[in-house]
Amino acid sequence: MTARFDTYGVVVTGAARGIGEATARRFAAEGAAVLIADIDAEAGAATAAAIRADGGRAESRACDVADRASVDAAISYAADTFGGLDVLVNNAYSCSLHQEDFTEESDEDWRLDLDICLTGAMRCSRAALPYLAQAPGRRGAIVNIASVNGLSYFGNHAYSAAKAGLISLTRTLAVHAAPTGVRVNCVAPGTIRTPAWDGREAVLRQAARSYPLGRVGEPADIAAAVAFLASLDAAWITAVTLPVEGGILSSNASFTDALAVEPD
């Protein structure tokens, strides 16, 4: 793999596992120095060590995106350690349990999902933008990880609202940052096989039947899209939300299944 991100400094939040880990590994494999920023300090350190063992450059830092001081310290640490900052990936998330009855949603679940998914991304972006604006060659970039839940109905009301807000924030930040040359884009994944689904393989197999491409996604699918949007291959792309979702947004499997039922 070519060193597309050689000399880049990259921060990925929620990078100890899942999509964040795959994204960090992708950047490191392409030459970047990556900060694994995760609230789970032990898991983050293990991921960074594994990347280094594979020949990549990685550091770890405990980071709670719900805490401004923690965010500011992590971003500053990355910029100081790497000699600058070129890319921020806002991946940290919270997804409260789905409530079939919307009126059963608690204020606590709403506050948590919005604070981590949406306000957390704002905190990280606010801290990173001054550094990204100084990136050489106008290569500064933010990539937000949203979800198809922010584009259509897939349950998890609080999480979905937070991800829809993140898509809107992407557009806002893109316009705000454009004069500095910093690009801001978003990836909206469908169902991805991450540790959050551990022990629920039957659910994933069932979900795969709803996807036109016949499978759920893998973390590497999202990492590839993030790497593209962060790279200079996407130098004239900003404010875009890229669905990476196996065609689910273009499909209505339950409706077509209903049409296939023999009439009474």
116: which DSSP letter?
I
Give, in order, the Cα–Cα distances in Å from 152 to each of 80, 107, 144: 40, 22, 18
For the chain, the C-alpha Rg in angstroms (whole number) is 19
Handedness of CA 162, 165, 171, 176 (dihedral sign): negative
- The token duo for 100 is 């079939």
The Cβ of residue 252 has, within 10 Å, a number of other Cβ atoms equal to: 12
Tokens of 159: 């999480």
Task: Provide the residue count of the chain.
Answer: 264
Give the pair of three-digit tokens for residue 75: 């971003």
Q: Report strand pairing: 33-38 vs 87-90.
A: unpaired
Cα(175)–Cα(123) distance, integer angstroms:
17
* Closest CA relative to residue 20, chosen from 28, 113, 204: 28
The DSSP output letter for 14 is T
* C-alpha span between 11 and 230 (Å, rounded): 12
Q: Which stretches of 39-148 are assigned E, i.e. beta strand? A: 57-62, 87-90, 141-145
- Active-site residue identified among 8, 131, 159, 211: 159
- C-beta separation of 112 from 154 below 8 A: no
Q: Is 77 noted as a catalytic residue in this protein?
A: no
Q: Which residues are catalytic?
A: 159
